[in-house]
Every structure is written in structure tokens, then in C-alpha cells.
Structure 1
Amino acid sequence: MAVYEKQDMSNTDTPIIGILGWEARKNNALSQLGHLPGDIAHPTTFSFPVLYKRIEGAYHETVIMKPSAKVLRAMIDAAKEMERNAVKAIMTDCGFNAIFQQELANAVDIPVFASSLIQIPLLHLMLKEGQQIGIITAYQEYLTAEHLKKVGVSENIPVCILGLDNTEFSKVRSDSLAIMDVDKFEKEVLSVAKRLVDENREVGAIVLECTDLPPFAATIRRETGLPVFDIVTLAHMVYETIAGDRWGKGKNV
């Protein structure tokens, strides 16, 4: 289904979910991931139309390393504009936007899910007592307790976190890699997932923080035997609640 940039929309386009995104990817290696089905930017990832709005000034430093109040204000303005354009829910293209979840949700009257991490409290209730939720993140050192708190993850919810340090992804982010070896990166992601499970035997489910990881979710699920949740699984669940009509009953409502 189409992924619309705002300037590409016509009056007949009806995006269901809006995506608040980073500035255009200038790194060619990183943009390779956007060509993979399952990536948040790939047109086949969603079975419904979405509206993608790039936020000026939103990038690695202003979202992950030092969350910027200026970027948050720009995201809020964009979210309000999306709501005026009849978008039914809003998500973002980086899991670290969890830090902005409450502010974004309070700014509009439609559902906002800024990060895949918002699923963790639900998973905690789904798992038996003592089981952990494993988180695979782009940057372990920057994913803080405050990020988790902002999406409702209390201290009594057992989580374990492992990052993509020393992988193709980290090299791309540091601009030390011009072309990404995607096959190698998939193996590295799988290695991180296996290590997460091997080092934490009570993991009952895995959440992928990074929105570039859903293309590899099936591989992780197959190799670990665990359910894997990400921003795409969440988006499809939200879509079903706001516009789903599997049995054609909505036509007469």
C-alpha cells in the first residue's frame, strides 16, 4: 500500500495512520534498509495507506543522544496537522521517540504510539510471572529507564536489553560505512537475539525497538522460538481497531 509524503498526496488519498519521521536519510548505506519489505519506509510494509511526514531537525543527535525540545514541538505541530487531515492514529519512525510519548499523546485527540516499546506493559500481562521481556535496541547506552517509564514500563516489569553495538548498523550510524552488507547485518541481528536469549533464560517475548529491524523479525522468531513484537505488528493492530473491516460489516454502519 502507498506510503505518502505530504507533498505527494492528492485529495483522493486517505491515509489511515501518520508517521512522524526523521529528516531525509542522507546516508546511502542506511537508506538500503528502507528498501527491505517490512521496513517502516517500504511501500509494501503496511496493508493500508500511511502519511509520512519528515520532521526538520530530527535525527540521531536530537532524538537519541539528546532529545530536543525543539524537535518535540515540531513533532507536535505535525501531529496536529495530521489530525486536521483526518489521520486516525499517529506513530513515529524511531523507537527512541518513547521519550516523547506522553507529550505527543496529550497534544491530539487520536491515538499515538511513538514507539514499539509501548507494547511492553501488555506483554508483561500476557506472560507468566517471572518471565522477562527482551528488548533489542539500536543503542543500548542511550535507552534509559526514563524512555521505558514514558511508555508505561514500571520498575516491576522485568526487562533485559541488548544493543546492536559493533554491527553493520553501528558502523553506518557513525558514517564509517558507505555501503551496508544487509546479509551480514541480518546475521548480526540474529546473533544479538540469540545472545539475548542465551544470557537471559527467562525471556518469554522479544520487542524490537528499532524501526529498521522488522524485516528480520521472522528470522528472529524462527531461530529463537519466541514471539517478536515491533512497530509494524503494533501498527497493524492499531489499524484493525480504527479502520479494520475484515467481514465487510462496516459498509452499512
Structure 2
Amino acid sequence: MSEVKPQLGVILCDLDSYPVDYIECLTPDASGISDNPVGFFENPASWQGLPVAYAVARGARVEPLVNGEPEAIEAFWSASEKLAHCPLVITDCGFFFYARKDMRQTANVITSGLDLLPIASVLTSKDIGVLTVSESLASKLLGDHVLSSRLVIAGMEAEPGWSTMLTNDHALGNGWDQALLKEGVAAVAKREFGPGGRLANIGVLVLECTLLPEFRQEIRKYTDVPILDVASFALNALGKGFDAGAPAAGSSATLSQ
């Protein structure tokens, strides 16, 4: 019997550089929808062997999306219909969480890492940290959230390169690269998790921005709290997760099934 490989669906913001509205990448070496490097959701090699289907939410330009404008949210629903065949669908921007504000059901879709806030709330009695591309925009988005009184929000927008991610055209090389983004993450994590930092006493950290999961190990240098993000959730839900099929060091057997 051949190995079952469930297909991950990814809804993408509307960028001019995307040549098509829908594409399936069945192998990690398949041609993706952009030239962004591994670590970005648009690169199929980021998904550790999972086949991926991409649907561009045409009309969900970045600037309208991060402000929750209706045309961007309608574009989300249209894109989600194209991915109805996928057992799990995620998005490439945490501000698709605005879709939670209407009463339609998302079925197989996790709109954002912010969908993981209820899980965070049962992991700790302390405050919950949210690391986001924009503190002001995330504060607006989460102002009426049931957990708002427990949220401590820190943003990346003041760090070099990160503000570009809030514009409609944030193509590779347009004022940023991965090394610059990583430096920004390290600076914010060191400051906010350090003495007197806003995240120093949280019990869980949730990553809103989908650029942040690739820098989890950098964040981990500064905190021991659980870190929740949508990319790790998807890889564990559809991929091999904890059971990678190899025994742990010093073990004579794999985990029982």
C-alpha cells in the first residue's frame, strides 16, 4: 500500500508577482508560485514533503487585509472554496483572522496562528504573549477578543525590513532579506523577554505573523515558554509530527502505535 500524503491547502494574499490564482505543488521540488526561499509558506519545500495546493485570495491585497476591509475578507472565502478538497487549509497572513468576525463556517481552515489562542489559554493562567508584524494593527484586530484582557502584544514593525511586510509589494529584495528579518526577531525577543520586557512574565507565546515560524529557534534562545504557530500545527497535523519513524537515541524500539 502506498503512503498516504494528505494535501495542505494554503490561502495566499494577493500579490502582483503571483502569475496564477491556483497551483498544485505535489512534490517539494515542484515549481512554486514565487521565488521566496524555504521558510516562506509560498515555497513548497517548506512543507517537508507534503503536497501543497495554493489559492490566491484575489482582492486580499496586504494593506486592505491588515485593516480588515470587506473585499479582502470576501477574497478569503472565495479562495477557501478552491481548497475544499484539502483536509487542512492555512493562510499566509495572520490577519486573515478577520474572517472569524462573521458567522460563516470555515470548515477545514485555520485562518491564523491567532486561532490557537484558546489552546494557549488552557496552557497557562498567566498572560498570553502575541508576537505580530504590527502591534497597533493586532491590537485593533484583537480588541474585542474574549481573551483580550490576557493578551500582551509585541510587534516587529519598528525593526529594519519588517515594515515592508505591511505593504502590497513586499517582494524578495525590496528592503529586506532573511538575515535582516532574523536580526529583527532576535532584537525584539531579547528586549521583550529580558528583564522588564513586556513578555518576561507570559506563560505562552502565539506567533501571528506567518514569517515568524521560520525563526522559532531564534525566539527559543530567549524564552522557555510554549510557542504556538500555524505552520508547526499544520506540519504536525498532516506530516510525521513527533513520530518520525526512527528510534530515539539509546532506544531499541520506536513508540508503540
Which category of TM-score, normalised to the shorter sequence, fits these structures?
Answer: 0.7 to 0.9
Whole-angstrom distance in 2 between the partners of 1:42 and 1:207: 23
Once the 2 structures are TM-superposed, how far is the Cα of residue 240 of structure 1 from its aligned partner?
6.1
* Residue pair 1:117, 1:148 contacting (<8 A) in 2 also: no
Return the offset for 1:26: 4.5
2:196 is aligned with 1:196: no
Separation in structure 1 between the aligned mates of residue 112 and residue 227 of structure 2, nearest angstrom: 15
Task: Quote how far apart the aligned CAs of 1:77 are.
Answer: 2.3
Structure-1 residue corresponding to 2:183: 187
Q: Does 1:72 align with 2:68?
A: no
Gaps of 5+ in 1: 1-13, 248-253
One-letter amino acid of the structure 1 residue matched with residue 14 of structure 2: E
Kept in 2, the 8 Å contact 1:135–1:208? The answer is yes
Q: Give a deviation string over 1:194-215, Cα, whole Å, max 9, x none.
A: 2222313311222111111111
Deviations 1:92-121 (A, max 9, x none): 110011111354x8345x322100011121
Whole-angstrom distance in 1 between the partners of 2:162 and 2:141: 24
Q: Is 1:114–2:111 an aligned residue pair?
A: yes
Does the 8 A contact of 2:57 with 2:78 survive in 1? Answer: no
1:78-227 to structure 2, matched below 5 A, reads: 78-83=79-84, 86-101=85-100, 103=102, 106-107=104-105, 110-127=107-124, 129=125, 131-144=126-139, 146-147=141-142, 149=144, 153-156=146-149, 158-167=150-159, 168-171=161-164, 173=166, 178-198=174-194, 199-200=197-198, 201-227=200-226
Q: Which residue pairs with 2:21 in the alignment?
A: none
Please report the RMSD computed on the Cα atoms of aligned residues, expressed in angstroms: 3.3
* Contact 2:14-2:62 within 8 A present in 1 as well: no
Residues 233 and 22 from structure 1, CA distance in 2 versus in 1: closer, same or farther, beyond 3 angstroms? same
1:146 and 1:184 map into 2 onto residues whose CA distance is: 27
Unpaired runs of 5+ in structure 2? 19-33, 246-257
Count of residue pairs the alignment pairs up: 219
String of CA shifts for 1:143-199, please: whole Å, max 9, x gaps: 13544656xx4245x221111122221146457983424323212111112222231
Q: What letter matches 1:122 in structure 2?
A: I
Q: Specify whether residues 77 and 63 from structure 1 end up closer, same or farther in structure 2 by C-alpha distance, changes over 3 A only.
A: same
Structure with the higher fraction of residues in helix conformation: 1
Q: TM-score, normalised by structure 2?
A: 0.72
- The answer on whether the counterparts of 1:91 and 1:113 sit within 8 Å (CA) in structure 2 is yes
- State the AA in 2 paired with 1:126: L
Contact persistence 1:101–1:113 (CA under 8 A) = no
Letter in 1 for 2:122: L
1:57 paired residue number? 59
How far has the Cα of 1:227 moved from its partner? 2.6
The 1:197/1:93 distance shift into structure 2, 3 A limit, reads same
Q: Kindly tell me: are residues 183 and 149 of structure 1, through their superposed partners in 2, closer, same or farther at Cα, counting changes over 3 Å?
A: same
Q: Which amino acid aligns with 2:12?
A: G
CA contact (8 A) 1:96 1:147 kept: no
| % identical equivalent positions | 24
